[in-house]
Amino acid sequence: MNDRDNPDLPLGNLFADVLRDFGSRYFKKPMDFAVTNFGGIRIPMPEGAVTLDDISSMFPFKNYVCYVKMKGESLTKLLEQLAGTQAFQATSGAKVLVKNHQLESALIGGKPIDPKKIYNVTTIDFLLDGGDQLRIGALAEDVVLTHVLLKDVMLQYVESMEKAGKVIDSASDGRVVMED
């Protein structure tokens, strides 16, 4: 189960990693970062077989995948916003240290954020204009909306894992460390 006080949780990490991977394939460019919200995950992933009803229950909202082109300085602002909220959301592609709700350090792809570099970000439309206190759209150089529902991305992932005979596994990995 997700604990909003701990952003480095297996299900949130899996969710963000799947979103980032999908974005790279869908937009045909590597996504540097992905962010989505814990509130969009309504129940834990069940053990054993995962059904369409399970995925629909986990992701009941009509959240659409989108691509955001963002300068490094804006990506830093986004991470600062995340650090200052009640719950740092689920992310992929970053290693972040937060102390007392302040961004202490951040790496994207293992490197410090270059303020002038353009980064490719995958997220959901809900977070573009105020969802969970984020305004990712205001930080963007460009935004591309899709008609792809987040729950469909997760369903495709589950189906691909089942077809490959693989077990869905996720873990905490230290991608976000919060110290108070």
Q: Where are the domains of the chain?
A: 10-93+114-172
pLDDT (tens digit per residue) in 42-56: 666 667 777 667 777
Q: How many CB atoms lie within 10 A of CB 23?
A: 28
Read off the pLDDT band of 123 (50, 70, 90): very high
What is the rounded CA–CA span in Å between residue 101 and residue 99?
5
| CATH number of the 10-93+114-172 domain | 3.90.780.10
Read off the pLDDT band of 175 (50, 70, 90): very high
CA angle, residues 143, 127, 169, in degrees to nearest 5: 105
Render 63-124 in DSSP notation, one character per residue.
PEEEEEEEEHHHHHHHHHHHHHSSS--EEESEEEEEETTEEEEEEETTEEPPTTSEEEEEEE
pLDDT (tens digit per residue) in 20-34: 999 999 999 999 999
Average pLDDT over residues 88-112: 94
